[in-house]
Structure 1
Amino acid sequence: MGAEMNTGVLSATSGESGVDALMKAVRAGRAAEVPTLLESLDAAARLEALGRLKTLRSEVRSWDWNRWEETTRVRRALYVAGAGCHTGAAAAAGWLGGRDLLSWRTENGVLALRVLADRTPAWRADVALRLAAKPAVAEDSYGLIRGLVEGSGAAVPATDGYVLGWMRQITDSGLLEHLRADPQTPVLVAHALSMQETPDQLTGSGSSGAATHWTTALAALTEEGVLDRAELVDLCVSRLLRGGRQRDLRLPLALLQLVPPTAEERRDRIADWIGMTADATSPVAGYAQKTLSGLALEGALPGGAFAEMTAGVLFRQEKKLLRAQLSLVNKVLTRHPALAAEVLPVVADAFGHDDTEMQQRALQVVARHLNSVDDETRYGLAEAASLLGPVHRSAAEAVFGRRIAERELLPYEEILPPVPEPQYLPGPQGSLEELVEDLLVEQRRSSGAMEFERALDGLVRHAHQDRDCVAERVREAFSDAYWQDTSGPTGHADVDFFRHGPRGLDGVLAALVGKVQRERIEAGRTQTVPMTTCVHGAMEVTQDTRIWEIAHLIGGGTLPLLLATPTRHTGGIDPLELARRLREYADAGLEPAPVDLGHALLRVRRQDASASQAAEEADALGSEAGTRLAAWLRCGNPLEATVRFHPRAKEKGSGRWWLVDRVLVEMAKRQDFRKEFPRTFHWLGGGLLPNARRCYHWEQVPERWATLLPADRELLAACLLSSMASGVDGDSARDVTGPLTLLAEGEGQVGRAVALVLAFGLGCRDADDRLRAVDALLVLAARGDLDARQVGRDLAWLLAERSMKPNRLADAARTAAATGAYGTVWTILSEALPTLLEAETPIRGLGELLAIAADCVERCGATGELAGLDRHASARGTSQLVTQSKRLRNALRQGTDQGATETS
């Protein structure tokens, strides 16, 4: 290095300018020489050098990756030289914070500090604060920022990035000594405790007592007085109140346990503790509950606050917290009976809890302290007892006497949602300006399937009237669209944006303004579905073929409107409306587009009451398309699919283990269908090989796929099976049950495939997916289309072979039952449970399913026997499986006949 420095000095004294020498050193990557070379440069020379440094920096950015070693050396030197040549604080901070120089900040902090040492303290403080304010810069530039702060006397920059860099620097075996000796510790610790995301060093720095354990070190510093104890407690409580991930709350919770609040601080923060018991994560709520429990038993918690705390805890689902709270209520009321009138009505809210054990415990607490309240309060508690499940009715009568016995017991009524009213789509688009506005909205955000269809139809109608005008408006409105830029090495249309599909409406819009190669449109509209593709790939190709057909015909005089535009939100087309559209074609002497007509026939509602009249009107048209519509409306079930499953592999890594890999869907071979429909539809008539290889569309379930077959629910369900299966055993699949809503409200027969997609949906990993499956199940039940027993049988084998987790089904079943559909849920579970009860080794979570079944039986009054139940109900022990088996057996033997089902 010394030889290199001497060379630089000699060249500068032998005719070479100082700027040239500096640039030579920078270009050679000799960063260590830069501070010395900068000392000889005045302001004008540094300004000249800065311009050349910027040019070199741009040049380095374009260097190929195989020059990475040279790039590394040059950027080191650029980092230091640029810092020394900038005169403005903002510009210097911008240079030191450059993304391309990011890797060299920490390493060259010392050199950068050397070249900035001659600047004023205010200037260096300004640069430090600017760098600290940049999250992506401050962490890696911690050493530089720290040096600038200490050299200028600036305030400690308490920012997230600076704190992260500080923690990374001092977290080692000498952590406690570093913290004790660092004057910035109080400020930076306070900021660290207030950060929304707790730094990794605070959450993963070893076990309690380890040399690198931050919690232990901070507690020790608090005892020594280095950190203010009251401030630390305040910061920890404030952080817990803000909530967040348990990972981010672990440190403040642990600190409060090591540095506990004083008795006065506990009393002053009663409102904070109550808020935590109601809304915080389970560990935090448990800590707050324990703190309030001590105050309550000491008599330091006012009755109103204790009642508020009890209400918040009893609203939660964690049984541990609920049990502890009811036990606390019992102890507090034993010591302070005067609080009973204020607290017992809150306890009575637990009479409606989902868990019957919690109902029982709440009733026991009320019974023990009932004598401490007046008659009016007793009457209110007796009224609340109506929320108790039937299993506790006799116990409630023993507590409240005639108040319960004299209540009229109404017959059970199944509550199902009202049958959804049909939602009709608006008519054709209005003016061209309205259409363009809708198209712009469609481009900026992905709208629903029906908005897409309506916009597509409007585009066709307006282009039929004046293609040139529509094309000009599209060219203006979408001037910045990606498909407008087709400039390439050979000129117009050299860039093919649509080789993987029309991308929704973009392919049609681009075709209107001549931005799509004609060969691409021709290939798209004549493409066929490969025999080896999956059903999702087939659905995608079929939809894309229609788009390319429209792109080919739009504005050419032969496409006045689209036949396949739905009239209902499910994608269905009313038969009379389709007949009217065909008449419009016939009157104009035009033939329908083949793929558009095929889509329209698949969407027409064959089971509609007007189907017969529409068939007669279609016959009267005398056109080939009219004859096809009439025949289609009169056919019974033109399309079918068979669903099978490959056996599950015994070992997870030996072939077919995942449910999604085992689904096998085979379309029935229909030669007549394949003769009448274009080739893009032939897969529906048996044109796919029934293979079970993995479908790579299973995380993509566009709503418009479900609108392809709105009149054939069973076939649509078969096509969606692999998507639903991925939601059951996939790790990342989400939002796969969206099409179930359209399927439940669609048309056509219901069979095994519909039952299977419902069963898959009820066992999905994602809670929102399960909720949509519950909604679909209840809608089908309300319409009288639900085969609940088949759903139960499918659930039984999914659970028995461990393809579905019982706790997910329990969550879905509990949600469905809570709506009032106890009879429906019991019918499903009565089919699913025998297989599980008779298994040699009961599955984990079976007790939870039995608890839901028992609740349904108690409420709907079902009777009978359940295979395999006696074996578990007769067993000894207090496990949930044994307890709930006994409860379910008693309910089935003591129940009454189920009442009539009613929709509400």
Structure 2
Amino acid sequence: MSSLMDAVRAGRIAEVTSLLDGMTDAERRACFPELKALRKELRPDRWSERGRQVLPALHLAGAACQTGAAAVANWLAATDFIWAPASPARLIDTLADRDLAWIADVTHRLAQRPVSARVPFDLMTGLVRLSACPVPTTTAYVQGWLMHIGSTWARSSSVVDRLRQEPHLAELVAALFEIDDIGSVFGWVAGEGRNSWPASLARLTEEGALDRKSMLDGCAARLLRGGRASDVRVFLQLLRALAPTRAEERERVADWTALAADAASPVAAHAQSVLAGLALDGELPPRRLAEMSESVLFRTEKKLLRAQLVLLGKVLAKDAGGVDELLPALAQALGHMDSEVQERAVKLVERHAPRIGDPGVRDVLAAGAEQLSPVLRARVAKALGVGLVPASAEAYEEALPAVPVPLRLSPAPESATELAEEVGALLAGAADDVAAFERTLDGLVRHAHQDPGALREALEPVASRLHWFTAATVHPSDFFGHRHLELILAALLRKTPGGGFRTPLRDPLSVAGCIHSPLGQAFNARIWEIAHRIHADPPPFLLSTPTWSTGILEPDELVARLDAYRELGVRATPTDFAQALLRVRRQDRAGAEAAAERAAALGTPEGTRLAQWLTAEGPALPPVTLRTAGPRVLLEFGELEELQRDFPPDFRPLGRPVSVYREHWRCYHWDADLRPHWTALLPEQRELVAVRLLRDFSSLAVDDTRGAAEILPRLAESDGAAGPALHLGLAYALGARHEEDRLAAVDALLVLAARGQLDAERLGADLGELMGSGTVKPARLVESVRTAAATGANATIWGILRHTLPALLAGLTGERPPAPPRGLPDLLAVAADCAERSGARGDVPHLAQTADRRGSSRLVSQARRLRSTLVLEVAA
């Protein structure tokens, strides 16, 4: 026993093997406790030179000195030995004297391990051969087999040659179709050409080594199941390599139809081509083609839809007898969002409507035509001979979303336990919920004033999970980012040094002149003062807690709070009162002036200041002093004097000039949880927030960043003038790289339109300038405006695009005009569709020159369509 341990500790693996051969099972079991202790001892040193020397010997000895199959499998697959295992050959040789059923049990337990366990394939396959057990078809084993066959050791032979030597070929290939996400490995080792896996498996199928029907059925089933793009791609390659015969294609018409309807685009396109071949050869019944067409025409991919419409046109041209069965499928295409698809479908209806024999078909197509623009709908009505309402007789109604209604904040929780639960929810990930944050902050102040002991007792279980909880003291600088609530908790739990947080919470980037710093500085200052005061002299409640979820504070409510402070003899915290002033509603002049009288009657400095603030002119729009040009258009704002007078020093930067060149735009204000609090900081002066976020908005289109547009709907719901900064930021976000940012921009656009605050001319001109410089790509804008138009905001979108298009069309004039930017034809199509639906009339500069160009390109055809719509005479 001591000899074995000495050999293991010295890493002499050959000697370990020899000693194990001469030991009985009882002697081996007696050694295991010491081997187990050595494994624990080596755990901190497994990356060291000693660990790399000793671990292989320990790996071998530990596997040999246990008798349970589960225990041996656990030892063999332990993470301690991943980087320094014993060789598979030595392990197999050591286990060879065990019972074959026991070895089979160990083998299958190893194969059940996840891929991340990195059990060597050579060990698993060696044990399979040793025990003669059924081959495992687990993910780990099959993936190991794939890597083994495709590894570099056998480059001298082809994949086909290596597969021919596999005794379990049929079982392992069948498993490929059953394992999810195997395509990422299968495709990686597949390669291209004749030596690829798809080509090799197809060749073995042709030779009879693999059952052809099983292979075709497996491919179809795997593609129907879907999955990652890597899975889809490699099994589609295999299906193409198998090259099904026409008879085999006919046998699987149901599979092709299902794939064309629901599979990923490449697979659907392949299935569509197979069915098209059958249909054109007369081997696909009209009923099947109609079923397939309805499914494909429900998809969104233009390429698939256009191919299907072409196919229907060819089939109907060859055999008009299927009109009644095939034409109803066009109802899906008539309602598609793409105008070109609609145009093609309308032409098919016009061409084949005279042959319709079933009146029900006319009814189906007429119902589908209700979704078309008035011009196209009139063409369908004429072709069908039905009485649709003429386009000119319709009264268009713009469909905009309901104006968002702010939510009134609920009172702070009455019990400390309930408040602690809300604190826990905020710490767990709701830091961007302004309403929850503000009511919780007010609740902490209230309970700290009423019963600080009970509050600390309730908060300790929640705060105990925070990393600073065991520290004796903390510093405000430990809580930058979105951890402001933690700063309050630290003050409540007496983690503050001395008499509280005497050092203000300063944003280190404020000194560097970060463009966001005035917003962060003001927000930080209020939080720090609350934390500092809550330590020894907490107020009974906060003055600045908003009335509404947008951050607005009603003036009557603020007057009542100041009156309560007066009666209690409580002094107001400067930053809390400053925040209250910035939040109090002033746009309602009648309400503000009435509240100002009551505030002045209080006879306190804060009451007098509030009265002056409420009776002053409403929130001013900062003057724009500079608008840059080029790929990144930015704005400079002048000084806002009303924020310079009688405000704490940390709040005054909010009204100072915004400079494009003197202030740093890049910083570490990366946490999106802070941005909603910035909108609530200035709920009636959203332009001051928007101008400081312009660089972030521009990066959505210029640098393809993600997430900055999330704040735009909040800005749209805020109050104050919707000026050039907000509209320019919206223009950038409408051309953002990522879909979620574009959707946020569309939401903001519709909210502004519903509130009557959207300046369509300004936004359209901004978009034209940004697209003219190449900053915003037309193809991205198309997705945004199409989404907005689909909600029913056709007049709104037309009002924007009529000011956007001239800047793009102007560049296409001249004797030898350049190629149009990608997406411009689609943008014209959306504009034409919105103009048709809203009944727009008038002229668009430079549109006529584009419409008069020769040819029938999509750009020219859509320009002509738009021009025709804009000059269409309205019937009396």
Residue 439 of structure 1 aligns to a residue whose secondary structure is helix
Q: Secondary structure at the match of 1:857?
A: helix
1-structure distance, mates of 2:716, 2:314: 52
1:96 alignment counterpart: 76
Are 1:40 and 2:22 counterparts? Answer: yes
The answer to whether structure 1 residue 350 and structure 2 residue 333 are counterparts is: yes
Separation in structure 1 between the aligned mates of residue 636 and residue 55 of structure 2, nearest angstrom: 59
Superposition map of 1:646-795 within 5 A = 648=630, 659=632, 663=634, 666=637, 668=639, 670=641, 673-686=643-656, 690-698=662-670, 700=672, 702=674, 703-731=676-704, 733-795=705-767
Give TM-score scaled by structure 1 length: 0.88
Matches within 5 A, 1:251-266: 251-261=234-244, 266=249
Matched, 1:571 2:551: yes
SS at structure 2 position matched to 1:415: coil
Match of residue 344, structure 2, among 355, 361, 372: 361
Closer/same/farther in 2, CA of residues 541 and 126 from structure 1, 3 Å limit:
farther
Residue type of the partner of 1:668? E
Structure 1 residue 532 corresponds to structure 2 residue 512:
yes
1:485 partner amino acid? T
1:330 aligns with 2:313: yes
Distance 1:778 1:197, change over 3 A: same
Q: Which amino acid aligns with 2:458?
A: R
Read off the aligned partner of 1:275 and give its amino acid letter.
A
CA positional deviation for 1:117: 1.9
How many angstroms does 1:786 deviate by?
0.7
Deviating more after overlay: 526-535 vs 176-185: 526-535
Do 2:733 and 2:741's aligned partners in 1 also have CA atoms closer than 8 Å? Answer: yes
How far does the alpha carbon of each residue in 1:351-372 deviate from its partner, in whole angstroms, 9 at most, with x for none? 2222222222212222333223
Structure 1 residue runs without a partner (length 5+) = 1-18, 487-491, 649-656, 900-904
User: How far apart, CA to CA, are the structure 2 residues paired with 1:236 and 1:704?
Assistant: 53
Contact 1:382 1:403 in 2 (8 A): no
Instruction: Give the letter aligned to residue 269 of structure 2.
Output: G
Partner of 1:560: 540
Partners of 2:768 and 2:199 lie apart in 1 by 51
Which residue identity is paired with 2:846? Answer: G
Indicate whether 1:811 and 2:783 are aligned: yes
2:399 is paired with a residue of what secondary structure? strand
Establish whether residue 221 from structure 1 lines up as the match of residue 200 from structure 2: no
Report Cα offsets for 1:605-631 as digits up to 9, x if no partner: 221352222222221221122222222
Residues 86 and 774 from structure 1, CA distance in 2 versus in 1: closer, same or farther, beyond 3 angstroms?
Answer: same
Q: Deviations over 1:242-278 (max 9, x none)?
A: 2233322012112222224466654554443333222
1:114 maps to which residue? Answer: 93
AA of the residue aligned to 2:356 = S
Task: Give the direction of change, closer, same or farther, for the CA distance of 1:184–1:464 in structure 2 (3 Å limit).
Answer: same
3-state SS, counterpart of residue 626 of structure 1:
helix
> What's the CA shift for 1:288?
1.7
Partner of 1:435: 419
- Matching residue of 1:474: 459
Compared with structure 1, are the counterparts of its residues 502 and 298 closer, same or farther at alpha carbon in structure 2 (3 Å cutoff)? Answer: closer
Residues 1:420 and 1:24: Cα distance change in structure 2 (over 3 Å): same
Contact 2:374 2:391 (C-alpha < 8 Å) held by counterparts: no
Q: 1:714–1:750: 8 Å Cα contact kept in structure 2?
A: yes
Contact 1:314–1:322 at 8 Å: present in 2 too? Answer: yes
Instruction: Say if 2:823 is the partner of 1:845.
Output: yes
Partners of 1:495 and 1:426 lie apart in 2 by 32
> What is the rounded CA distance, in whole Å, between the counterparts of 1:617 and 1:797 in structure 2?
50
What letter matches 2:786 in structure 1?
Answer: R
Label 1:73 to 1:558 Cα distance change in 2 as closer, same or farther (>3 A): closer
Between stretches 786-795 and 151-160, larger displacement belongs to: 151-160
Query: Among 833, 839, 854, which residue is 1:861 paired with?
Result: 839
In 2, the alpha carbon distance for the partners of 1:503 and 1:528 equals: 15
How far has the Cα of 1:91 moved from its partner? Answer: 2.1
Q: Do the aligned partners of residues 503 and 394 (structure 1) sit closer, same or farther apart at CA in structure 2, a change above 3 Å counting?
A: closer
Amino-acid identity (%): 43
Aligned to 1:587: 567
**1:756 Cα shift?**
0.8
- The superposition leaves residues 511-557 of structure 1 with CA deviations (integer Å, 9 ceiling, x where unpaired) of 22223445883324477872423233443343233223222222644
Distance of aligned partners of 1:134 and 1:518 in 2 relative to their CA distance in 1, 3 Å threshold: farther
CA distance in 1, matches of 2:358, 2:479: 80
Q: Is 2:51 the counterpart of 1:81? A: no
**Mapped partners of 1:231, 1:303: distance in 2:** 29
TM-score normalised by L of structure 2: 0.91
* 1:340 Cα deviation from its structure 2 partner: 3.3
Equivalent runs, 1:13-52 vs 2, <5 Å: 19-52=1-34
Q: In 2, distance between residues paired with 1:496 and 1:821?
A: 49
Unaligned segments of structure 2, at least 5 residues: 813-817
Map Cα deviations across residues 420-469 of structure 1 (whole Å, 9 max, x no partner): 22322222323223222222222333252211211221122122110011
CA RMSD of aligned residues (A): 2.9
Residues 506 and 521 in structure 2, CA contact (< 8 A), matched pair in contact too:
no
8 Å contact kept, 2:378–2:391: no
| C-alpha distance in 1 between matches for 2:605 and 2:124 | 81
Contact 2:487 2:531 in 1 (8 A): yes
Deviation of 1:851 after TM superposition, in Å, equals: 1.4
Q: Measured at CA, do residues 524 and 189 of structure 1 come closer, stay the same or move farther in structure 2, by a change above 3 Å?
A: farther
Aligned residue among 600, 606, 613 for 2:586: 606
How far the C-alpha of 1:896 sits from its partner, in A, is 4.9
2:601 pairs with 617, 620, 623, which one? 620
Residue 381 of structure 2 is aligned to residue 400 of structure 1:
no
Structure 2 counterpart SS, 1:403:
coil
CA distance in 1, matches of 2:400, 2:192: 54
CA contact (8 A) 1:203 1:251 kept: yes
> CA distance change for structure 1 residues 536 and 496 in 2, over 3 Å: closer, same or farther?
closer
> 2:151 aligned with 1:167, yes or no?
no
CA-to-aligned-CA distance 1:108-166 (integer Å, 9 cap, x gap): 11122222222222222222222221223565511111111211122212122222221
On the 8 A contact 1:571/1:708 being kept in 2, the answer is yes
Match of 1:462 among 439, 447, 457: 447
| Separation (CA, whole Å) in 2 of partners of 1:137 and 1:323 | 45
Give the 3 Å change call, closer, same or farther, for CA 146–207 of structure 1 in structure 2.
closer
Q: 1:629 aligns with which of 610, 616, 622?
A: 610
| Alignment-derived partner of residue 274 in structure 1 | 257
Amino acid at match of 2:410: P
Alignment CA distance shift 1:571-1:308 (3 Å) = farther
Q: CA deviation at 1:89?
A: 2.0
Q: Which residue of 1 aligns with 2:815?
A: none
Cα shift at 1:570 = 1.2
1:284-295 aligned within 5 A: 284-295=267-278
Write the distance in 2 (CA, Å) between the matches of 1:396 and 1:137: 60
Q: 1:682 to 1:144 in 2, by over 3 A?
A: same
Residue pairs, 1:421-432, within 5 angstroms? 421-432=405-416
Distance 1:314 1:37, change over 3 A: same
Deviations 1:44-81 (A, max 9, x none): 5434533333333333332396xx33332222222222
1:844-883, Cα deviation, whole Å (9 max, x unpaired) = 2222111111222222232332222233222222322222
- Cα gap change, 1:312/1:641 in structure 2, threshold over 3 Å: closer, same or farther? farther
Asked whether the equivalents of residues 559 and 595 of structure 2 are also in contact (C-alpha less than 8 Å), the reply is yes
**C-alpha separation in 2, matches of 1:643 and 1:272:** 65
Counterpart-to-counterpart distance in 2, 1:501 and 1:850: 44
- Mean CA deviation greater in 683-692 or 585-594: 683-692
State how far apart, in whole Å, the 1-side matches of 2:54 and 2:177 are.
40
User: CA 1:579–1:543 in 2, change beyond 3 Å: closer, same or farther?
Assistant: same
Give the number of equivalent residue pairs: 858
**Is residue 2:863 matched to residue 1:885?**
yes
Query: Is contact 1:219–1:258 with CA below 8 Å preserved after alignment?
Result: yes
